[in-house]
A and B are shown apart, each in its own frame.
Chain A
Amino acid sequence: MEAFTTHTGIGVPLRRSNVDTDQIIPAVYLKRVTRTGFEDGLFAAWRKDETFILNHPAYAAGSVLVAGADFGTGSSREHAVWALMNYGFRVVLSSRFADIFRGNSGKQGLLTAQVAQDDIELIWKYLENEPGSSVTVDLVSRTVTAGDIVAPFEVDDYTRWRLLEGLDDISLTLRHEQDVTDFEGRRPAYKPSTTVG
């Protein structure tokens, strides 16, 4: 995973709450067996509407998505994260993220920065008044800067550390392989096996 320290890019105000992962990428786009090429499916239904924010030339090259509350609800599909990243997004700002989506993002290096709804409203207004403006997201200081607005954001310490270092979870766990083996020696014998029965 690529390390993340700070990112500056065009902010995209997405004034929708409850953006579920079926909206981020509909199921028909989930058939690929790779991690790439999902940008075509990103917000597929909404992008057919010419007034949709990403169809506005000033926002089309956006990399910081500023969304309403409860972003990423529903299906566990990590394809939603791949679609956002394949398109070019590196950060999503929202006042609340769905748990599975946030976890998936952390594994892939997409920063989900939790910003108070009042600040989201201010950033929306700024980006709508000044289309194409940049937003800077600094993971070291945990702040978002958009014009004169400087807002703090929340991200848990462990995810922040992993993102800053660009660390891969599996390698981290395999450092403790002996603990796993020890645990396996203590599991009750009645626990089921998929291959017996």
Chain B
Amino acid sequence: MGVSRVRTSGDGAVSRAPESNAEEVGDVSGTLAEKVWESHVVRRAEGEPDLLYIDLHLIHEVTSPQAFDGLRLAGRKVRRPDLTLATEDHNVPTTPGPITDLVSRTQVETLRRNCEEFGVRLFPMGDAEQGIVHVVGPQRGLTQPGMTIVCGDSHTSTHGAFGALAFGIGTSEVEHVLATQTLPLKPFKTMAINVDGTLQPGVTAKDIVLAVIARIGTGGGQGYVLEYRGSAIRALSMEARMTVCNMSIEAGARAGMIAPDETTFDYLRGREHAPEGEQWDGAVQDWKLLRTDEDAVFDEEIHLDADTLTPFVTWGTNPAQGLPLGDSVPDPEALGDDNEKAAARHALEYMGLTAGTPLRDIRVDTVFVGSCTNGRIEDLRAAAGVVKGRQVAQGVRMLVVPGSARVRLQAEEEGLDEIFTAAGAEWRLPGCSMCLGMNPDQLAPGERSASTSNRNFEGRQGKGGRTHLVSPLVAAATALRGTLSSPADLADEGVDADVDAGVGASKERS
């Protein structure tokens, strides 16, 4: 972050009243990201990275065992178990019963032993609070504006939707945060992603972020924190904002942020870990200052017109290889430089696609609705709105996997589970599921999916599996027609799909 451009009131080591740090935050001019950064500097020294304090450390079973081992070897403790929370998500099966894969089970049991030994709160499989780590934090109100949040998972960028500086870390850094509650970090640059206008019906947050990634590329955000701004972003619900920030990493950016506003405060108010009474008032006072100053300068800025956006899908094997659904599979020879051409040739070969094929003609075998990108209640409502009273196409399997036990319960209260099962979809238990080929939910070699998850890498959903990234609305319409489709395609068949679901500013609690 362009720290040299930030004007601070002193050396960053300012004192503040425990109730509010409003005054100090107000003294710092800059972008949202820079403000959050500045308010967490524990130590700054010439020629060294800033040492930043971490407000919340989320943990799961895959990237933590070696970190706990490191602590044990060095005789160290977890410095702040009260700022640490663990869930089981990556390995868990989404059908009832224990983990049958022995190695997976060992990994989950290792997390349980580590949490017990080091005093870390854990939401295990079967617990009413269990779920994907990036769904659990926000739904409990643990994710709040102005915080620094890390997790050994690249989709930690999700939490930036609240105006938090949140990013994924590796296992060595997990160990570092466990031991010290800090991280030494090199400065980021800042990039504004301005999305102005109004989304058309059937176009969602997922389409915004897929279009952003296609625009700047998988490496375009490297070294940057993205700030999503503009009227189309302001109009999004918190859950939709999380979808946008979630995929910042797919553009190479470790973090994506959205300035907190009334939508944010309304979402947080009353949740378990949200401040109460006078502390709430003090917090909101601070949070309202968390916005990019008018005179602040971003290192980079891009603009996107929401009015002209249409449903977006990926055709290749990296998330930047995406196009509007109305387009056709591109001709590699017509693309960019030699490396880009080669990458596209590889991608088409792997995906089993021919240049010039309309994307709408691509037939899928599996539809996956879920993940930390699109596994929240609004996503499930959106998909249910499309499939309601209809049948999943013959030969297509549709998996609906809630992001958390709470989302599942809420969906069942609303009768969404019955809509899905009546349509022929499978209603599953919460977990990361088919987003990554780690638990039993995987694609078979050559199998093709339309997936609301975040990565279409080769083999990501199972060895040899072929992934098209889509929004929940496109996923649902695709399940019904068997080919990549949007709800508008159903209208041609006389179906009045509820295409607005999940797009607007719904503030329902999950």
Contacts and interface: CB of A to CB of B under 8 A. Distances in A.
Contacts of A15: 342
Given A22-B455, A195-B81, A186 B254 contact: no
B198 interface: no
B399 to A, nearest CB: 17
Contact of B172 (A70, A78, A174, A190): A78
Given A73-B218, A104-B170, A197-B273, A26 B346 contact: no
Interface stretch (B140-148, B202-210, B258-266, B298-306): B140-148
A32 B103 contact: yes
Given A70-B252, A192-B142, A158 B457 contact: no
Q: How large is the interface on A (under 10, 10 to 19, 20 to 34, 35 or more residues)?
A: 35 or more
Which 3 pairs from chain A and chain B are nearest by CB?
A: A104-B170, A107-B172, A78-B170
Contacts of B104: 31
Given A68-B339, A197-B273, A169 B172 contact: yes
B446 interface: no
Interface of A: 15-18, 20, 22-23, 26-28, 30-35, 45, 68-70, 73-79, 81, 96-100, 103-104, 107-108, 156-158, 169-170, 172-174, 176-177, 179-180, 182-184, 186-197
Contacts of B180: 170, 173-174, 177, 180
Given A169-B172, A173-B182, A179-B42, A193 B83 contact: yes
A74 B172 contact: no
A131 to B, nearest CB: 21
A32 B218 CA distance: 29
A189 B282 CA distance: 10
A18 B218 contact: yes
B141 A192 contact: yes
22 contacts: A16-B346, A28-B463, A31-B106, A33-B110, A70-B219, A76-B63, A76-B170, A78-B172, A100-B254, A104-B172, A169-B184, A173-B179, A173-B182, A180-B42, A180-B181, A180-B182, A184-B181, A188-B20, A188-B286, A190-B275, A191-B55, A193-B83
Contact of B458 (A45, A68, A192): A45
A179 B68 CA distance: 24
Interface string B327-341: 000000000000110
